[in-house]
């Protein structure tokens, strides 16, 4: 087995928390949008973020013997949700975003988040030993870039309508 960095578990945990936070953000955005097509796109992105959690668990399970069996009995999203929600709310507050903030502010926050996630996964793909994890991180980076591009288009569309 390829030697993993000492902090690998923490890296994967932080990625899981990041994905759950993004999932929560897109569900919140979907609930605020009146346009059904845009709402559907945001829900799809939220589902993709949730699927990223599954792929991160796959990396973790492949790296640690016996973990896969343990994880099969745990709903990872549910287990991490309280901490992810706490972190998400703190990040929104830190950015000055409240429940009454304009949709444009939320979209800008989401775009920046996707940009950071893309760069984070790209860096992890370069630094992580082992082909399976490396490829999963590359795929996640590409998907985060696609989310970013979609969100930019949504924001532009809303700006043009205003």
Which pair of tokens denotes residue 16?
């899981």
Summarised one tens digit per residue, pLDDT across range 123-160 is: 999 988 777 888 999 999 999 999 999 999 999 999 99
Residue 48 domain-assigned? yes
CATH assignment of the domain containing 139: 1.20.1260.10
Helix ranges, the chain (H): 8-32, 36-63, 67-71, 76-94, 103-127, 131-161
Q: What is the CA radius of gyration of the chain?
A: 16
pLDDT of residue 130: 75
Residue 2 domain-assigned? no
Range of the domain at 56: 8-161
pTM of the model: 0.86
| Percent of all residues in the chain with a pLDDT value above 70, rounded to a whole number | 87
Residue 42 domain-assigned? yes
pLDDT of residue 3: 54
Structural domain tally of the chain?
A: 1
Summarised one tens digit per residue, pLDDT across range 39-98 is: 999 999 999 999 999 888 887 665 545 444 444 445 888 899 999 999 999 999 999 999
What Cα–Cα distance (Å) separates residue 6 from each residue in 3, 68, 128, 140?
9, 19, 12, 22
Does 9 score more than 50 pLDDT?
yes
Residue 81 domain-assigned? yes
Residue 71 domain-assigned? yes
d(CA 84, CA 16): 9
pLDDT of residue 4: 54
Does 27 score more than 90 pLDDT?
yes
Residue 28 domain-assigned? yes
Residue 95 domain-assigned? yes
Cβ-in-10-Å burial (0-12, 13-18, 19+) of 3 comes to exposed
What Cα–Cα distance (Å) separates residue 57 from each residue in 19, 133, 137?
12, 11, 12
pLDDT mean across residues, the chain: 88
């Amino acid at each position: 087995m390829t030697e993993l960095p000492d902090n690998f578990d923490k890296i994967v945990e932080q990625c899981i928390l990041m994905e759950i936070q993004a999932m929560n953000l897109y569900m919140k955005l979907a609930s605020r949008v009146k346009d059904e097509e845009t709402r559907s796109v945001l829900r799809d992105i939220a589902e993709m973020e949730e699927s990223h959690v599954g792929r991160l668990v796959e990396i973790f399970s492949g790296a640690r013997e016996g973990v896969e069996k343990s994880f099969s009995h745990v709903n990872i999203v549910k287990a991490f949700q309280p901490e992810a929600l706490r972190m998400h709310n703190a990040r929104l507050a830190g950015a000055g975003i409240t429940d009454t903030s304009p949709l444009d502010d939320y979209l800008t926050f989401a775009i920046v988040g996707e940009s950071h996630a893309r760069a984070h996964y790209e860096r992890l793909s370069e630094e992580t030993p082992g082909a399976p994890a490396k490829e999963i991180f590359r795929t996640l980076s590409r998907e985060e870039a696609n989310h970013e591009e979609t969100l930019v288009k949504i924001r532009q569309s809303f700006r043009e309508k205003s």
